Structure 1
Amino acid sequence: MQIFGDAMPVQTSTLETSASLSSLNEPPLLFPHSGKGTPFIIGVAGGGSSGKKTVCQMIMDRLLEKDKSVGVKVVIIRMEDFYRELNREEMELAKSGDYNFDHPNAVDFGLMEECLEDILHGRPVDIPLYDFQNHIRLPETMHIERPDVVIFSGIYMLYKRRVRDVLNLKVFVDVDSDVRLARQVVRDTEERYHKPLEQVLQYYVKHVKPSFEDFILPSKKFADVIIPRGQENTVAIDLLTQHIVDILDERASQAKQTLEAAVEVRTSTTSLATQVGNVDKFGSLPQ
């Protein structure tokens, strides 16, 4: 692991590890024969309001700047857009601020894995878009076709084993809880929901903090890279981006070598076939 820089119904869940029976009974999202040409997928996790979206955008901007001559296609996907569609009871809880959107059960992991599998196998996919004001999925979607790099962010990106297994790089944005709370207050009172301050604080104490401690923080151990202070840690983000560029360059070089080798074999085979075709089928007979 690398470290850069300085009452609603009870919801239960278990952090999936390599030994989880539920995980072992599920097939992998990517089979060995499907690995060639798959996009480079970066999973960015961290607590709510830790600045994951900003970190993802910074990585994307730097990747596009470094590889603008190559034309790398980079897309950002938000795990928040995979919130489950709520039933009537859950909708009432959401309106009153009693539905826990920070719990793993709030996420439609099945749909999320389907989309991931399509991306991994080079199939076009329509990513859902979520309306946070009305707690519903929008009719519009984000269409994606054969990206080179996918930056997938969300508090539970490192939570499920099947998801972790297909991530080429696992990142955890580590920001102090006081900073995350301050950002959530601004977001939920001014930007996303326009809720009263008291309701935001109650939601944080009742749902956000326990979910972070029970499910999100334990997933930190699966990270390849930890970024303390999040978006403020530009040194770490620059180093991480350069590391990604180096990996992409290496993959491109390997792909080129594989293509050249295939062309050489094809050329040699064609040449041999031509020579065989020119041989007299009766052999060399005396005149």
Structure 2
Amino acid sequence: MFDETDQYQLASASKTIEIRLPDGRVISGPRGTAVGFFLRKLPEWDNPPIVAAIINGDLRELTYILDIDAWVQPVSMADMDGARLYRRSLTFLLEVAFEDLYPQAALTVDHSVASGGFFCQVMERAPLSASEICALEDRMRELVRMDIPFMKSQVPLAEAIAYFENKGMQDKVRLLRYRQKDHLVLYQLQDHKDYHHGYMVPSTGFLKYFALAPMGEGFVLRYTRRHSPMKLLPMPAYPKLLDTFRQYGAWLKRLGIESVGALNDAIAAGRSREVILVSEALQEQKIADIAQQVVERANQSRIVLIAGPSSSGKTTFSKRLAIQLLAQGLSPYPIELDNYFVNRDDTPVDENGHYDFEALGALNTGLLVDHLQRLVGGEEVQLPHYDFKNGHSEPGDIVRLRNDQLIILEGIHGLNPNLLPNIPLQETFRIYVSCLTQLNLDRHNRISTTDTRLLRRIVRDARDRGYSALQTVSRWESVRRGEKTHIFPYQENADAMFNSALVYELSALKLLAEPLLRQVPYGTMEHIEAKRLLAFLEWFQPIPEDLIPDNSILREFIGGSILKEFKLWESPADFFSIHRNGNGG
């Protein structure tokens, strides 16, 4: 029954509201105030800098107006969403400063740099000189000192298209013609306007941590990393990776598809099959080139090591490489690195006391080196087999290789020199496989290679492992930490690099990933990421999956790969001799 007492009565709205933080702290302030003014009261406001907030389950800018009490979680530069927002804002700052100084040229933001940065190039004029790069950085810092607000407005789509048409930015015009919504959010800094795939900081004064550095025929916009959000890290050279990106850029030019708008044009014109076939042919050509390099060094380098981050397509690449090697008369034999795990009780633990299966110490590298040396020497070796259920190593196959056979070893530590410390480098051939897309939304809005790999994994996990998108997204941060520790630092050790990115793949993944992302529950942290990915996929016209060849690397993730059941040991028996546990084949 209702309590009919005087404690319940109509009242006027209070002039103040409260925000509650995850740790229980409460901040009160005037109703109708931007959330940033509330968060400025926190002692940790600028250490590391807070750049956004999650308000009642939704990611918001610091300029978001609060009219009611709310649950608020600060987002700093040390958080994934905060880092993205900071880098996006920094890119717009660069874009504005560049147009101020070099209005007749065009700037492109191409790809990320492992140490923290975006590689940028200049079109329609010669590359910037060292002094011009310094002048550009000085102009950016001048804009930061002025602390100019980023103005945000929603305009009719036709108006936005007309604006970019007038500016001669045809890559943006092409992209916007396929936009389903009738409006577009534009950000403005002084007289410069642009759209960006996501939120921004309130003003230029937030953008204190950056630098510009010459590299090749371009330069790098350097930014801080999440684990060091207020300090730039040293920038190592990465000539092999840079060359791989350049090669992919040349592929895109050959296809006539250098932006998502151009890809959408090709799909709308009925050229999907052509784009797919040429893309796949270019990849097959690269695999054949790598196979030829392996063949040329086969007498000396009989151990082929393959490494790369999650969802790069290493499994399919390894099988397609093996097929190319078989076609050239070499018989590769695969050894699974996972079978060299130490017993569960001997596995190292991380700082939280959990087993760290990605640490190099989780592998019996001494046994691995011994087996590889003996196999190359023509001896008979009993390989281990790891029982993942019980966490113990057991006796496996007994193998003897022919003198002209190669060993293929795939695993995350493949490029780490400490994996095979007693085997000379010249006796191995190391391959780095990664999804290094250089196809961007337009010249200023890049596509993250990490996002492409995450979408691949969401689709594969749902099909092969029964995982929801929520589960995959929740694990992704841990996966990324392992990559940064065990893979990326060693990528330049590779003798060859293979870019598994396909120009059309996000159009193909779109129809499969969207239903999975829509199932992520509202109110979870994973929902924020799912919402961002869904907004990102809206830019792509779809491609039906039945057009994709059955040996494509993309089939590893969407299913239907003809290579799924392909095993090297099913090759003709005279390629090698093998005995099951010593009891005969």
For normalisation by structure 1, the TM-score amounts to: 0.55
Q: Contact 2:376–2:401 (CA<8 Å) still a contact in 1?
A: no
- Distance of aligned partners of 1:53 and 1:144 in 2 relative to their CA distance in 1, 3 Å threshold: farther
Question: Match for residue 146 of structure 1?
Answer: 402
Question: Match for residue 205 of structure 1?
Answer: 477
Q: How many residues align?
A: 194
Question: Match for residue 215 of structure 1?
Answer: 486
Written as runs of structure 1 = structure 2, the 5 A alignment for 1:111-260 is 111-141=367-397, 143-146=399-402, 148-161=405-418, 162=421, 165=425, 167-175=427-435, 176-185=449-458, 191=464, 198-206=470-478, 208-229=479-500, 232=553
Identify which range, 82-91 or 208-217, moves more after superposition: 82-91
Q: Contact 1:38–1:122 (CA<8 Å) still a contact in 2?
A: no
Kindly state the Cα deviation for residue 146 of structure 1 after the two structures are TM-superposed.
Answer: 3.1
Question: Match for residue 314 of structure 2?
Answer: 52
Cα root mean square deviation, aligned: 3.6
Distance 1:142 1:53 in 2: 24
- Distance of aligned partners of 1:60 and 1:189 in 2 relative to their CA distance in 1, 3 Å threshold: same
Question: Match for residue 543 of structure 2?
Answer: none
Distance 1:56 1:64 in 2: 12
- Distance of aligned partners of 1:179 and 1:136 in 2 relative to their CA distance in 1, 3 Å threshold: farther
- Distance of aligned partners of 1:131 and 1:51 in 2 relative to their CA distance in 1, 3 Å threshold: farther
SS of match in other structure, 1:122: coil
Question: Match for residue 334 of structure 2?
Answer: 76
- Distance of aligned partners of 1:194 and 1:133 in 2 relative to their CA distance in 1, 3 Å threshold: farther
Kindly state the Cα deviation for residue 222 of structure 1 after the two structures are TM-superposed.
Answer: 0.6
Question: Match for residue 266 of structure 1?
Answer: none
Paired AA for residue 114 in structure 1: D
- Distance of aligned partners of 1:178 and 1:124 in 2 relative to their CA distance in 1, 3 Å threshold: farther
Q: Contact 1:39–1:150 (CA<8 Å) still a contact in 2?
A: no
Written as runs of structure 1 = structure 2, the 5 A alignment for 1:76-95 is 76-87=334-345
Kindly state the Cα deviation for residue 151 of structure 1 after the two structures are TM-superposed.
Answer: 1.4
Kindly state the Cα deviation for residue 86 of structure 1 after the two structures are TM-superposed.
Answer: 0.5
Instruction: Give CA-to-partner distance per residue, 1:38-92, whole Å, 9 cap, x none.
Output: 662211111133222211111111111232xxxx33201222221221019989x
Distance 1:195 1:90 in 2: 27
Kindly state the Cα deviation for residue 171 of structure 1 after the two structures are TM-superposed.
Answer: 0.7
Q: Contact 2:347–2:357 (CA<8 Å) still a contact in 1?
A: no
- Distance of aligned partners of 1:123 and 1:220 in 2 relative to their CA distance in 1, 3 Å threshold: same
Aligned counterpart for 2:303 among listed residues 41, 65, 74: 41
Q: Which has the higher helix share?
A: 1
Distance 1:100 1:169 in 2: 27
Q: Which has the higher strand share?
A: 2
1:64 counterpart = 2:335: no
Paired AA for residue 340 in structure 2: F
- Distance of aligned partners of 1:136 and 1:185 in 2 relative to their CA distance in 1, 3 Å threshold: farther
Q: Percent identity?
A: 23
Q: Contact 2:325–2:331 (CA<8 Å) still a contact in 1?
A: no
- Distance of aligned partners of 1:88 and 1:121 in 2 relative to their CA distance in 1, 3 Å threshold: closer
For normalisation by structure 2, the TM-score amounts to: 0.29
SS of match in other structure, 2:303: strand
Instruction: Give CA-to-partner distance per residue, 1:5-35, whole Å, 9 cap, x none.
Output: 41xxxxxxxxxxxxxxxxxxxxxxxxxxxxx
Distance 2:310 2:324 in 1: 24
SS of match in other structure, 2:430: strand
Q: Contact 1:46–1:52 (CA<8 Å) still a contact in 2?
A: yes
Could you say which structure has the larger radius of gyration?
A: 2
- Distance of aligned partners of 1:185 and 1:82 in 2 relative to their CA distance in 1, 3 Å threshold: farther
Distance 1:158 1:120 in 2: 19
Kindly state the Cα deviation for residue 157 of structure 1 after the two structures are TM-superposed.
Answer: 1.0
Distance 1:180 1:133 in 2: 28
1:99 counterpart = 2:361: no
1:109 counterpart = 2:365: yes
- Distance of aligned partners of 1:127 and 1:186 in 2 relative to their CA distance in 1, 3 Å threshold: farther
Distance 1:143 1:187 in 2: 33
Kindly state the Cα deviation for residue 227 of structure 1 after the two structures are TM-superposed.
Answer: 0.8
SS of match in other structure, 2:338: helix
Task: Structure 2 unaligned segments of length 5 or more: list them.
Answer: 1-238, 249-297, 436-448, 502-551, 555-585
Instruction: Give CA-to-partner distance per residue, 1:153-183, whole Å, 9 cap, x none.
Output: 1110111242562543211002233343344
- Distance of aligned partners of 1:90 and 1:219 in 2 relative to their CA distance in 1, 3 Å threshold: closer
SS of match in other structure, 1:61: helix
* Structure with more contact order per residue of length (Cα contacts < 8 Å, sep ≥ 6): 1
Kindly state the Cα deviation for residue 216 of structure 1 after the two structures are TM-superposed.
Answer: 0.8
Distance 1:123 1:115 in 2: 9
Distance 1:75 1:141 in 2: 13
